[in-house]
Structures are given as C-alpha cells and as structure tokens.
Structure 1
Amino acid sequence: MRVRTVFNRILGLDGTAVVGVVFTGDEAVVTVRRVAKVHRCPCGCRVPGRYDRSVRRWRHVDACGMKMWLEAEVARIWCPDCERVRTEDVPWARPGARHSQAFEDTVAWLATRMDKTSLAQLMRCSWEAVDRIVGRVVVERLDDSRLNNLVRIGVDEISYLRGHRYLTVVVDHDTGRVVWVGKGHGVETLEEFYRELGFLRRKKLKAVTMDASSAYISATRTMAAQAVICIDPFHVIKWTNEALDAAFRNSAIPTLKAQMKQARTNAPWRKARFALRAGRQKLRQEHHKILKVIRAERTELHKVYLLKEELRDLFQIIDPGQADSYLRDWVQRAAGSGSSAFRSLAQKIVRHADGIIAAVELGLSNSRSEGVNTKIRVIQRRGYGHPKAQSLATMIYLCCSGIQISLPTQR
C-alpha cells in the first residue's frame, strides 16, 4: 500500500486528497489538496477564479509521537459578496486558523477538563494558541438561537478579579444553560443583554429572578417591563440572618459567657450563632439546649429568632395563595418586635415585597444561577484564575452554554 493511501486513511479528511509525505526529524509534513475545483469564500460564496496563491501549513493532531503538519496551496479570491480579496476556505481548518479543525476540537474538548498551561504542554503548542483556539471554537459553536424562546431567566453576578471586578451571567431556568455573559454588574451591562435579545424576544420574558440589586431591577423595569421580577428567597433569608446577627451581638447571655470563659474558646458562641441561624431541621440536641437558654435569659433575642423561622416558613410551607397576607402580617410583627435591626429589615422587605411574593407564587429562585456560579468557580480554580473578563467569559460559554465538542475519534 502506498504511503499516500495510508495517510489518506489515517487522516480521513473529507474533500481532501494526500499528495505527498515528507519526514523531517520528529515531524511529518503531509501535502494535501482540495478535491473541489471551485474556490469557496469563508462567507459561503463560490468563486471559479483566483486572485493569487501561496503555500501554507496547518498544525494537525500528533501521530506516533510525531508532530503532524498539513501543507497545501491555497488561493486568494475576489468575493463579490464580501467585495474584497479573501483567502479561500479549506475543508480541514477553520477560516483564519493555522491549526486543523481536528486539532482545535481536541484542544477545546480538553480545555473543559484541564488548565490551559498543562493543555499547551500536552499538545506541544503555546498557551496563547490554546486561548485563541478556544475563542474560535466558541465563536463558531455559539449560536444566536440560544436567545430564542427565553421565558424565565435568572440574573446573577460573579467576581473574576480582586478589586470588585464582576461578570453578569444570565441563565435560562428551563434548560439550566448560560445564555449570556457580560462584563460588569451595572445597569448598562444588563441593558446590553436586553438590547442583544431584541424587542420581540424581550416580550416573551415572563419572569426574571435576581437578588435585590437596584441595577438589575432598574434595567429590567426599563427594558422588559412586562416580566415579573422575582427576588431570590436565599437572599431574603440572608438579610434576616444578618439582622439576627446584629440582635445576637447586642444581646449578652450570661450563661453562654460563663461557658466561654470556662472553656477559654469561642465554641459556645459559635454554637449559639449556628443554633440561631440554621433551620430547625439541622439542629441537634445541643443546639436545642442553647435555644432554651436564650429563651430563658434573653426573650427579645428568642422573639426575633422565631420571626426568622416564620419568614423561612413563607418559602417552605405557606400556601402561595396566602403569601401576600402572611408577609404583610410578618412585617407588622417584625416592625413591632423592639429590635432596631428587624425594624430596618421590615422596611427593606416592604420595598421588595412584590418581588418576594412573586418568587413564592411562581416557585422560582436563583438556584439555577447559584449552581452555574459554582461551576464557574471550578473553572476559575482549574485555570488558576482568569485576569481578563473575555477569557473567563469564553470558558463559561464553552463549559456551561450547552456547546457540544466531539473528539476526532468520536466521529
């Protein structure tokens, strides 16, 4: 069997024929040519003639420990659609790339599972080449159709660098996939997403979950006024725990102070704080004993603890049809509790009451977004951080937007 026939079968490139093979040291240069006679522009336009031609090389997947290169003669053509001279499209590589499509797909698949430095060492290329390859694959595979048929979305922020550098991440509640990533977490950032979504697709939005960010609320009310804003229950409980912490710090409990002095540690205080903040289902016998001490020695603190538990019930056991009246009654009792922290909390909840009630009635939260944020943290740790927002955004799209990458051996 001739060498050209062997490499034709090994490479398996559609629309391509092997012309010759040259071995130089630890490298193999495979000369190939297009089977089609008509030149094709990257835009898809077919052109019979050419402007000029030159010889180029593309890095291919290694074989038998040898670096593999594809070499071919390519033409520059005048594209009537683009109205300029462009390099013709070749079947074995993406437009503008100096790596074969099989090489780039392998790199992209590995990038979802390892850091780019190790990946560059494995594939024997530069870190910069890996970064550019991931960007090209994402641009090719990221389809605008991901923004179609969005009905319920979650909006959240995540930091990518010290100094309060954030990305805004939009997640589809129905699929759990990331549909958009933008730099920043202000009004302009979310408005940019709504503008990219377009008027007709914005009108299909029915609910948007978020924390109580004034920027996100303002952008949503301006650009998608028909969508119901749902305030994430997790953040509401977080506000309540912060108010409970303030009440806890202002309340001295003699029995717990004596236990701490005897043990010479902060363990009793930590146990008391856990007993107050945690839900009933997480408490052990020792925590119930602490609550008995608090109820006996500081009734004001125990009173606001009960208020916290009653607010948790709003999201867990209260019938959604009764959520409005239940929350209004809770606000009145919190305002009259005697705790300044809970009076401030009651005022805050009143300001966001509509969004809280909507979250209960629709059964929505930002859990989808929080789950995606956990995956993003894994991406950041695996890559040892991403100093540039665009680099992290590209990796988020690659790993969390539903892009499917197949290895050359899986085709």
Structure 2
Amino acid sequence: MIVIMVLGSVRPEEARRHQDKAREFKKQVKTVKDKEVLRELKQNIRDESQRYTRLKRARWSVLTDSRNLSEAGEEFLNEILNTHNDLATCYTMKEEMNRLFELRDKEEACCVWMKWFMAAKEIGIPQLQKFAELKERRLRGLVAHATHPVSTGKSEGMNNKIKVAERIAYGYRDEDYFFTLIRYQSSLGFPTFIPLRAKKNGMP
C-alpha cells in the first residue's frame, strides 16, 4: 500500500534530485576557470553522485518493515532519513499506519484513522496526500479490521481459488454449484476434474 504508492515514488524522486544537481554542477564546470571554484564544483558533483547512489541502494531498507532490519541496516536507514525530509516524513507515517492495524477497538480505530488521514493530507507531500484520500474512502473496512483482522493475503487467496474454479468449469451457469465448488476447494484442495453434477446442472 503506502510502501509502493508513496515510499516507492518519493525515494526515486529524491534520488533524481541528486542526479539533476550533479548534472547542473557538471554544466557549470565547463564555464568556470577559477581553480578554487572548480575544485568546489567537482566536490559537489561527487557528493551529489554519492547521495544518489546511496539513495538508490536504500530501496530495500526504506520499503521493508523496520523490525526486519539488522543493526547495520537501521544505521544506514537513519542516515538516509536524516538527509531527506520528505522521505523521513513518509516513512514515519508508514510506521504509524502499521500500528493502526494492530488496534482492536472500533471506536479508537475510527478516531485514530481519521487523525492519520488529516495529518497525511496536511503534510503537503502529493503522493502521501493522494494515498490518504484513497484510503479514507475505505474507512469502513479499515475500522472493521479492528474486530475482524483478516489480511489481504487471505482475500487474495480466495479470489485466486474463485478464478481457478471458474477456469475449471469453463464458466458457470449454476451459482449454487459454483459456490459449492469454491467451498470444496477451500477445505479439501483443488480438484483436478469437474464432478458429473456440473453437466447435470447445465454447466458445459
């Protein structure tokens, strides 16, 4: 979610800024003759290029759960966040959002989610604002997660089983049988053939 939509967008954007600065300094080098200024420009080029490389390398550290980072990984991440304000802000909002999914009281969840949306939209980072607006439309489902904590993985797994059932049957005309087949797949595994009842109920 926020990892892909926000951090996955802000990090490359900030990396490009370093790249653009390095290119700008390179253009200035061609017109400068003063040795001291030239030395300073070359140092700036090296610094921006190093920042660009480090930020590109930080992809995994930024996108992964902070609890999965090693001590060296945490140190590297902190160095990146300390020098990139927008990225640090989005990362902090991501960590806070992860905490919201651990809430188990519906009223508290609703209140805290609304505060999160408000903060995300007021920060002024376009990617974060857009993400907050999209998630706010799903507030009801987010609040329901407090009492029914079903992960998207289970939902996606069920959707895949439905698709497989439909492919096995080459489409379906009997809805009762179709849902029976889905329940069968969920409890016993994937059948390798369609039982004869499928033809009796009008299925091809």
Alignment check: 8 A CA contact 1:256 1:269 kept: no
Q: Aligned runs of 1:7-406 on 2, under 5 Å?
A: 238-252=1-15, 257-258=49-50, 271-317=57-103, 319-372=105-158, 390-391=169-170, 397=182, 400-402=185-187
CA distance in 2 between partners of 1:259 and 1:274 (Å): 16
State the AA in 2 paired with 1:246: S
| Residue segments in structure 2 that go unaligned for 5+ positions in a row | 19-46, 173-177, 192-204
- Give me the identity figure in percent: 20
**If each structure's helix is expressed as a fraction of its own residues, which one has the higher value?**
2
The 1:256/1:372 distance shift into structure 2, 3 A limit, reads: farther
In 1, Cα distance between the equivalents of 2:113 and 2:132?
10
Q: CA deviation at 1:292?
A: 1.4
Q: Is the 8 A contact 2:106 2:144 kept in 1?
A: no
CA distance in structure 1 between the aligned counterparts of 2:186 and 2:170, rounded to whole angstroms: 15
Letter in 1 for 2:96: E
For 1:358 and 1:269, the matched residues in 2 are separated by: 37
- Once the two structures are TM-superposed, the CA of residue 298 in structure 1 deviates from its matched residue by 0.7
Report how far residue 323 of structure 1 moved. Answer: 0.7
Rounded Cα–Cα distance in structure 2 between residues aligned with 1:403 and 1:301: 46
For residue 279 of structure 1, report the CA deviation from its aligned partner.
1.4
**1:304–1:337 CA contact under 8 A, matched in 2:** no
TM-score (norm 2): 0.59
Structure 2 Cα separation of the partners of residues 337 and 398 of structure 1: 46
- Maintained 8 Å contact 1:240/1:345: no
1:242 positional shift: 1.2
Distance 1:360 1:257 in 2: 45
Q: Note the C-alpha offset of 1:319.
A: 4.6
Q: Secondary structure at the match of 1:348?
A: helix
Larger strand proportion, structure 1 or 2?
1
Counterparts of 1:351 and 1:275, CA distance in 2: 30
Structure 1 unaligned blocks of 5 or more:
1-237, 262-267, 381-385, 406-411
TM-score (norm 1): 0.32
Contact 1:244 1:304 in 2 (8 A): yes
Question: Does the CA-based 8 Å contact 1:272-1:287 persist in structure 2?
Answer: no
Partner of 1:66: none
Corresponding residue number in structure 1 for 2:197: none
| Count of aligned pairs | 154
> Aligned partners of 1:256 and 1:282: how far apart in 2?
29
The range that moved more, 269-278 or 352-361, is 269-278
**Deviation per CA, 1:23-43, whole angstroms, max 9, x where unpaired?**
xxxxxxxxxxxxxxxxxxxxx
- Cα distance, 1:274–1:403 mapped onto 2, change above 3 Å: closer
Query: What is the Cα deviation at residue 277 of structure 1?
Result: 1.7
Shift of 1:259: 7.0
Q: Give CA deviations for 1:85-142 in whole Å, capped at 9, x if unaligned.
A: xxxxxxxxxxxxxxxxxxxxxxxxxxxxxxxxxxxxxxxxxxxxxxxxxxxxxxxxxx
Which residue in the other structure is 1:78 paired with?
none
Distance 1:360 1:398 in 2: 26
Letter in 2 for 1:248: R
Alpha-carbon contact 1:320-1:360 (below 8 Å) kept? yes
Conservation of the 8 A alpha-carbon contact between 2:12 and 2:56? no
